[in-house]
Amino acid sequence: MSTHRPAPSDVHFYRPEDGHGLPHDPFKAIVAPRMIGWISSRDAAGRVNLAPYSFFGAFAGNPPVIGFSSEGYKDTVRNIEATGEFAWNMASLSLAEKMNATSASVPSDVDEFVLAGLTPAPGRSIAAPHVAESPAALECKVLQVIRLNALDGSPMPNWLVLGQVVGVHIRGEFLKEGMFDTFLAQPVMRAGYRADYAQTGDKFEMIRPR
């Protein structure tokens, strides 16, 4: 006896392999808001990279673990596999335009800190720098770099990076009575399609540079 029942007439249902039948793919707008994985890394030769990633999250609290996924084997993943470390930087509303500038596709020898006019602050537990202007930054040692597989076992062009936090930087003006003031920091989050919004709830649109 089948357990499948027709969806209500006012519900739009689709199977991803069949297509969504809408003007734009709704997946990233449904799984939202998401904090931005603004990742800084260094390659084996010491060249610095800074890039934002849409898929990012926290996965454990003790010890703290964060992770991000890269669509494509990009410089960030290559650097992390070579050195075993990276830093995450909070992208605040005041840094939104500079963060967006670091998403440009540029050669691996281009320093995105210079490109966006940001200050690289030296790490305490890792060699990779973090963004000095960011309200908070997390230094991480790599736990796993995993290439994802689809249901049929075929490899996907996506790499998941998990890192354990080994150092935390918090700018003093965002500590209030011993607590990090997230609202004051105004982190920018992805809200689907080309939209982003800050902790204040203000929504705005950013176009990724080519």
- Render pLDDT for 167-190 as a digit per residue (tens, 0 to 9): 999 999 999 999 999 999 999 988
Computed from CA positions of residues 81, 196, 33, 90, in that sequence, does the dihedral angle turn out positive or negative? positive
- 195 burial via Cβ count (<10 Å: 0-12, 13-18, 19+): middle
Q: What is the pLDDT of residues 77-115, one digit of tens each?
A: 999 999 999 999 999 999 999 999 999 999 989 999 999
For residues 162 and 159, give the distance between their C-alpha atoms in angstroms, rounded to a whole number.
10
Q: Write down the H helix ranges in the chain.
A: 27-30, 75-83, 96-101, 112-116, 182-185
Domain locations in the chain as residue ranges: 35-205
Confidence of residue 125 (pLDDT cuts 50, 70, 90): very high
Confidence of residue 28 (pLDDT cuts 50, 70, 90): confident
Confidence of residue 205 (pLDDT cuts 50, 70, 90): low
For residue 63, pLDDT over 80 is answered with yes
The structure's pTM equals: 0.89
Average pLDDT, the chain: 91
Q: Which option is the CATH number for 35-205: 3.40.50.2300, 3.30.428.10, 2.30.110.10, 2.102.10.10?
A: 2.30.110.10
CB neighbour list of residue 3: distance below 8 Å, 6 or more residues apart: none
Q: Which amino acid is at 85?
A: E
